[in-house]
Chains A and B, each alone.
Chain A
Amino acid sequence: MNELKRGREGWRRVIWRFSRDRIALASLVFLFCIITVSLLAPVLGLPDPTRIDLTKRLSPPGTPGHPLGTDEFGRDCLSRLVWGGRVSISVGFFAVLAAMAAGVLIGVFSGFMGGWWDLLIMRFIDVLMAFPYILLAIAIIAALGPGLVNTMVALAIADIPYYARIARGSVLAIMEKEFVQAARALGASPTRVLFRHVMLNMFAPVIVAATLDVGWMIMAGAGMSFLGLGAQPPTAEWGLMLSYGSKYLRTAPHLSVFPGLVISSVVLALNFVGDGLRDALDPKIQRY
Chain B
Amino acid sequence: MFSYTIRRLLLLFPVLIGVSFFVFLTMHLAPGDPVMIMLGPRATQQAIERLRHELGLDRPFLVQYFTWLHRVLRGDWGRSIQLRREVLPLILSRFGFTAMLGFTAIFIASTGGILAGLGAAFKRHTVWDRLFTFFAILGFSIPVFWLGLILQMIFSLRFNLFPVSGVSSATGGGTLDVLHHLVLPSFTLAAEPMALIGRMTRSSLLEVVQEDYIKTARAKGLEEGVVLAKHALKNAFIPVLTVIGMQLGFVLAGSVFVEVIFSWPGIGAIMINGILARDFPLVQGAILIISLSYVLLNLAVDLLYAYVNPMIRYE
Contact = CB atoms under 8 A, between A and B. Distances in A.
Contacts of A242: 145-146, 149
A268 interface: yes
A246 B287 contact: no
A28 to B, nearest CB: 16
B69 interface: no
Given A133-B253, A260-B143, A260-B149, A146 B291 contact: no
Interface string B104-141: 00000000000000000000000000000000011011
Interface string B239-283: 000000000011011101100110000000001101110001001
Contacts of A250: 157
A146 B276 contact: yes
Nearest to A143: B26
Contacts of A253: 153
Nearest to B275: A142
Output the residue of A127, A132, A144, A145 with the most chain B CB within 10 A. A132
Contact of B252 (A126, A132, A222, A229): A132
Interface string A60-73: 00000000000000
Contacts of A272: 137
A145 B31 contact: yes
Contact of B275 (A123, A229, A288): A229
B249 A133 contact: yes
A276 B160 CA distance: 41
B150 interface: yes
B168 interface: no
B92 interface: no
Nearest to B143: A219
A78 to B, nearest CB: 18
A130 interface: yes
Interface stretch (B11-19, B55-63, B171-179): B11-19
Given A130-B295, A138-B275, A242-B145, A143 B27 contact: yes
A268 B141 contact: yes
Interface band, chain B: 35 or more
A268 B294 contact: no
Contacts of B275: 138, 141-142, 146, 229
Contact of B14 (A123, A128, A215, A286): A123
Given A130-B19, A130-B291, A253-B153, A142 B142 contact: no
A131 B250 contact: no
Interface in B3-41: 14-15, 18-19, 21-23, 26-27, 29-31
A228 B202 CA distance: 38
Contacts of A146: 275-276
Nearest to B30: A143
Contact of B23 (A139, A259, A268, A286): A139
B118 to A, nearest CB: 14
A263 interface: yes
B31 A127 contact: no
Contacts of B157: 249-250
B19 A132 contact: no
A18 B190 CA distance: 32
A132 B250 contact: yes
A288 B26 contact: no
B200 interface: yes
Contacts of B146: 242, 256, 259-260, 263-264
A271 B140 contact: yes
B64 interface: no
B152 interface: yes
A40 interface: no
A135 B290 contact: yes
A139 B26 contact: yes
Contacts of B18: 123-124, 126-127, 130
B181 interface: no
Nearest to A255: B149
The residue in A126, A130, A226 that gathers the most chain B C-beta atoms within 10 A of its C-beta is A130
B253 A134 contact: yes
Given A130-B294, A142-B287, A215-B141, 19 more contacts: A127-B15, A127-B22, A130-B15, A132-B294, A133-B253, A141-B275, A142-B274, A223-B143, A227-B256, A229-B275, A229-B276, A245-B149, A249-B153, A250-B157, A256-B153, A260-B149, A264-B146, A267-B141, A288-B200
Q: Closest 8 A-B residue pairs measured CB to CB? A: A288-B203, A127-B18, A260-B146, A132-B249, A134-B253, A132-B253, A268-B141, A143-B26
20 contacts: A126-B18, A127-B19, A127-B21, A131-B22, A132-B290, A133-B249, A133-B253, A135-B252, A135-B253, A142-B30, A142-B280, A144-B30, A146-B276, A226-B145, A227-B257, A264-B141, A264-B142, A267-B141, A268-B141, A272-B137
